[in-house]
Structure 1
Amino acid sequence: MKKKEEDPEYVGKRMNKQSENGLAWCTLDYRFTYHIEDKDKLKVEERDECLKGMVEGIQKFWKETSLGTLLLMNEEDIAGELEFLAKKFSNDLLTIQIDEDMIHYQCKDERGFDF
C-alpha cells in the first residue's frame, strides 16, 4: 500500500507591528500548506506565482491594516482574512490551505494604563 504524500508546508516570517512607545503591539506567525492536484500539469512557475501571491497578500494585509484595527481583531478574524487570501491565490491545480490552527496571533495594548 502506497503511503499518501504529505502536502508541502510554507512557514512565514514573524510579523510585528507596534506603537512608537512600544506599549501597543501585535505579532503574527503563520504557516500554510498547499496541495498540487496534478504535478504533471502544474508548472513550477505557476506554483511559485500562487505561493508568492499568498505571501505578498499576507504582507500587504499586515502592512496596510492599522495597528488600531489589528488590536480590535482576534485570531479568528485574522484567520478569516488569511483564508480569503488562500482562496484568492488557489486554482484548479493548486489549493492553499490555512486555518486558525496554523496561525498564532497576539496583541497587547497597555496605552492609557497608569502603573
Structure 2
Amino acid sequence: MAHAPETLTIAAGHGDYWPGNLILSPDGPTAIDLSGHRDIPLIEDITRFSRGVSEHSEAGLTEAITAPLLSLLPEDEARQSFDLFYGLALAQKIHASGGIGYAHERARFLSL
C-alpha cells in the first residue's frame, strides 16, 4: 500500500454501479437503481462500472469508457487506486460466483 494515495475523492455513490444501471437513448444516458447511496470513494463506482463493462465487451472498450471517468479524479489518485479497486471488485465478483468463470477478466487484469 506504499503507493496508495493518502486521500481519496469521496462522493455520494451507489456502491454497485454497473452498466446495467444505465439506459442509453439519443437524449443521453439515464441512471437507474440509485437507491441506497452512500459516501464512498468515487474510484469505487468507477472501477465497478469498468469491471462490468469488461465483463461484456471486447478488448479496448473498457479503457475507452474508463479513461473519461478517471479524468474526473486527480491523476495520482486515479493511477494509484484504479488497479487496487478493480482487483477488489473482481475478487468480490469471483467470490460471489463461487470462483466459476471470469477467467478472461482475471487474465486481462493480470496482463496475461
Same fold by TM (over 0.5)? Answer: no
Highest Rg: 1 or 2?
1
Higher relative contact order (CA 8 A, sep 6+): 1
TM-score by length of 2: 0.30
